[in-house]
Every structure is written in C-alpha cells, then in structure tokens.
Amino acid sequence: MKIAVLDDYLGYSDRFADWGDLGGDVTVFRDPIPQRDLVATLSPFDVLCVMRERTPMPADLINALPNLRLIVTTGMRNLSIDMDAAKQRGITVCGTASRAAATAQLAMTLILVASRNLVGNLNSMARGGWQAPAGRDLDGLTLGLIGLGRLGADVAALARPFGVKMVAWSQNLTDARCAEVGVSRADSLGALLEMADVASIHLVLSERTTGLIGAAELARMKPDAGIVNTSRGPIIDRDALLAALRAGQIANAAIDVFEEEPLPKDSPWRDADLIASGRLILSPHVGYGALATYERMYRETAEDVRAFTEGAPLRVIGA
C-alpha cells in the first residue's frame, strides 16, 4: 500500500504519527504539488492524507487517480473534498479530531496586537528607533463578532475579561444564541461594522460569505477601527481592504487566511509600507496550527489508515 502525506509544511507527520507498523510505503510531501503535476504525482498512491484547506480534492482529481482507496483529512469537515465523487468511486473518507482553542486564541492575540499597535512599535525598535504611535487598550471598546458559532463564542469568552462590549451578527443568528453567549445582536452586518472598534470574522466560506466584506462594508467602519480575519480569506475583498488601509479609511487589519495559500511572494498582500507601519499584520494561516493540534491530527491520521487496513475504518465522514 502506498500512502501519500500532502502539504506537511513543517515535517510534523514524521514527528507525531506512528507510521511504522502500517506495512505501507509512506511518502511525505512537504511542499505543495503544482496543480499541473497532481495527477501524475498522486496516481500511484492508494491513500492520500490531506491537510484541510491546502491541496483540494475536486471530482476531476479524484476520478483521475486509479489506485485511490482512502482519503484521510485533518478535521471532520473538509469542503475542498468532493464527497460525491469519492462516494461514486467507492473511496472511503475519514477525518480526525481538531481543536478550536488554538484558532480562538490566535484571533484574540491578533485583536490585542493590532489594537495596541504592537507590531509598529516592535518594528520601530528593530530599526533602531523607540516608540511608534500608541494603540488602544480594549477596555470599553466594542468587539464585533461576525459569526457566533463555536469559534465566535470562544473568542467572546476570551475577550470578556478585557472589558469589551460585544455585538454579533450572522445571517441566521438568533437572539437566543446571543443570550446564550452573552452578547448583543446587531440587526445587520452594516450595523455591526458601524458600531465595532474591532471586527473579527468567524464564518464558514460559502456562496453567501464569499466577498461578504467589500468596499461598501468597509466604508461603514470607523476610521480608527480594525478588522481581524482568522476564518477564510475570500470572505474579505482583498483589494477593497488594501485600498481602505492605504486611504486611512480604517486603522488596521490582521489577516491569517488568504485566497491563495501559500501566499505568493509577489502577492498584493505583501505591502511593505503597510506591514512596516504595523497597520497590516499577516500571519501564515497558523490559526489551528499549534503543536498540540498537529500532534492530535497526525496521530489520528495514522490511526485512520491503520483502521482502514484492518477493515474497520474510524471516523468515517458521510457514513
């Protein structure tokens, strides 16, 4: 049995997973495989172990891999796998547990770092200077949560001790859910953006949320407000956000997720002036990527492969 582990950027699958007794040939790909090479590279493999949100598994790729019998994804939901195509081919899809704490904690970290202009001050020190413009503490500010599912609620719990007022909005948000979490409900996205000193996104990417925040929405924000995205890159219109930052229409943005990953070296996101000033903070999609998360994901990936070979698949998705 030939097993491929895709997009293991940091080499953690060897560190955390026990592949030794699987009786298979394991190949770890640390760098992304170019789109044009995917079929030729992956055709020999019986098992693909994928990291969600990295290499997608659309129908045309699944149907082009003659030996594929099992896909194991990190997490129990991976919208980039065409589940119908896998089912039609008789390919089993299994998942692993995940941890929400790491993503929520990163979101809270970025909220704090951006609000205090910490990066601008660190960069000033690195250049031999001293203090850069001061930021704001959160006490008394309004945190707008765009999405109040598990992650949005976790961020609310982390933010509460800082003395923020909290308001939330999503398309299907109810008063009952807001009462459960202990936040106010905004009547609309625009209303939330007008109130928020910091807006933080916690939505699943879908047709409804792609491009949800564009130029018109950003224009409703306060000039000293900031926005944080640890959810999905395409939810914010990149060009509109960069234009708003350059024009001083909003104060800052902290972004962990991008429409193309890994982020190309020539991406418009890499605006040297905005980054140096601390008004644009970029992190390389590390929301879920804490060591404990990787350890659990890769350990359970190997468990899923082993269980499949023994005829008793674990954590089957869509069963």
Give the integer Cα–Cα distance in Å for 223 and 210.
24
CB crowding 136-174: b at 16 or more within 10 Å, else e: bebeebbbbbbbbbebbbbbbebbeebebbbbbbbeebe
Task: State yes or no: is 285 an active-site residue.
Answer: yes
Per the residue annotation, which of 54, 238, 279, 285 is the catalytic one?
285
Q: Order of strands, edge to edge, in the sheet holding 70-73?
A: 25-28, 2-5, 47-50, 70-73, 92-94
**Virtual torsion, Cα 265, 103, 105, 270, nearest 10 deg:** 10
Give the integer Cα–Cα distance in Å for 110 and 285.
12
pLDDT at 319: 64
pLDDT at 109: 98
Per the residue annotation, which of 54, 232, 238, 315 is the catalytic one?
232
Give the integer Cα–Cα distance in Å for 58 and 230.
24
What's 100-282's CATH class?
A: alpha beta
CA angle 12, 310, 300 (to 5 degrees): 25
Per the residue annotation, which of 194, 259, 261, 303 is the catalytic one?
261
Q: Where in the chain is the domain with CATH 3.40.50.720?
A: 2-99+290-309, 100-282
pLDDT at 164: 98
Architecture field, domain 2-99+290-309: 3-Layer(aba) Sandwich (3.40)
From first to last of the 319 residues of the chain, give the pLDDT tens digit.
999 999 999 999 999 998 987 878 999 999 999 999 999 999 999 999 999 889 999 999 999 999 999 999 999 999 899 999 999 999 999 999 988 899 999 999 999 999 999 999 999 999 999 999 999 999 999 999 999 999 999 999 999 999 999 999 999 999 999 999 999 999 999 999 999 999 999 999 999 999 999 999 999 999 999 999 999 999 999 999 999 999 999 999 999 999 999 999 999 999 999 999 999 999 999 999 999 999 999 999 999 999 999 999 999 998 6
Task: Record the tokens describing residue 217, joined without a space.
Answer: 């929405």
Task: State yes or no: is 217 an active-site residue.
Answer: no
pTM: predicted TM-score of the whole model, two decimal places: 0.93
Residue 234 preceded by cis peptide, ω within 30: no
Helix axes 100-115, 118-126, angle to 10 degrees: 70
